[in-house]
Amino acid sequence: MAKTIYKERYWAPIWGDKIISQRVASKFFDMAVNENPPQAIKLVQRATYRKAFGKEIDGKMGPDTLKTINADDELELLHAMRDWTNWFVTQVLNAHPEYAKYEKGWRIRAQKLPEV
């Protein structure tokens, strides 16, 4: 039952089966579980659109977002995903200082990249 829940709520919304790099898909999935799929999609859009101007950050997974993810350099994208996740943690902590007790764990998780 847990596999079904994770697949439906987190993997399917990020189109995990269509992402070529398993490492990118795994990091994206982790972000979706921790930040929620729309927020994770926004962060990945920021990461993938870093070289493109005029792209909309809308939190919706679509063909353009998928194409950009799959065309990107794996390691560059993983580092950008890590950086944007850390940025998001900072935003959350600025808005909610009472969550400071979670910062260490959030930062450790943000820094972690899937193994080769």
Domain around 90: 2-111
Q: How many domains does the chain have?
A: 1
Residue 41 belongs to some domain of the structure = yes
Residue at 13 is within a domain: yes
DSSP class of 15: T
Residues 66, 95: Cα–Cα separation, whole Å: 31
Structure tokens at 108: 């450790």
Does 58 fall in a domain?
A: yes
Instruction: Classify residue 85: in a domain, yes or no.
Output: yes
Question: Which CATH number do you get for residue 48?
Answer: 1.20.141.10
pLDDT of residue 62: 94
Domain membership flag for residue 116:
no
Question: Is 30 inside any structural domain?
Answer: yes
pLDDT tens for each residue of 20-56: 999 999 999 999 999 999 999 999 999 998 766 678 8
Q: Does a structural domain hold residue 74?
A: yes
Joined together, the tokens standing for residue 65 give 């977002």
One DSSP character per residue, 43-104 reads HHHHHHGGG-SS----S---HHHHHHHHHS-HHHHHHHHHHHHHHHHHHHHHH-GGGGGGHH
pTM higher than 0.95: no
